[in-house]
Amino acid sequence: MSALPHDPYIQEVADALAHVGLDVADTWTCDADTRGLHCILHASLELTPEESGIAPTLWPA
């Protein structure tokens, strides 16, 4: 799997969150090709109550 242009930025955000005590459970990035018309860069940072310490009652399912 090759690195995407926004991978370093997403890692910096995860590191910054960890620095203030919000550990990220998972991150992912992908680039979706829309039939050759343009490329969309996606990224996700997952914060779980177990990893981040955020009370689950703050974000109802």
* Separation between Cα atoms, residue 19 and residue 33, nearest integer Å: 34
Taking 70 as the threshold, does the pLDDT of residue 1 lie above it? no
- pTM of the entire predicted model: 0.74
Q: Per-residue pLDDT averaged across 16-38, rounded? A: 86
12 occurs within a structural domain? yes
Residues of the domain holding 44: 7-53
61 occurs within a structural domain? no
Which pLDDT band, with edges at 50, 70 and 90, does 58 fall under?
A: confident
Tens of pLDDT, residue by residue over 28-46, are: 998 877 676 777 888 999 9
Q: What's the number of domains the chain is made of?
A: 1
34 close to 42: Cβ distance less than 8 angstroms = no
**Average model confidence (pLDDT) for the chain?**
86
Helix, strand, or coil (residue 49): helix
